Amino acid sequence: MVRASLSTRGQLVIPKLIRERMGLHAGDKVDFIVQENGDVVLRPATVHVQSLFGCLRPRNGKVATLEEMERAIREGASEGI
């Protein structure tokens, strides 16, 4: 069992062993899930960008070129978006 103490400001430091096991890093968010029996589950809420690779598919099946993306950025910037 790993134990931590709650500060007077309500802050809790997650022990290093738990952070490493959960893959947590500075700035990551965590969810506290309260179960029906009163137990609380701590779960990482941060999704790292690497885990999103390949999750989006182009609507028309065509992948945009770098030049097309740069042109769209320029056009958006010129429109004040």
- pLDDT > 90: percent of the chain: 51
Q: Shortest CA distance to 15 belongs to which of 5, 29, 30, 28?
A: 5
Taking residue 14's Cβ as centre, other Cβ atoms within 10 Å add up to 16
Q: pLDDT digits over 44-69, tens only?
A: 987 767 777 777 777 777 788 889 88
pLDDT at 65: 86
| pTM for this entry | 0.52
DSSP state of 38: S
Q: What is the dihedral of CA 20, 24, 27, 29, to 10 degrees?
A: -140
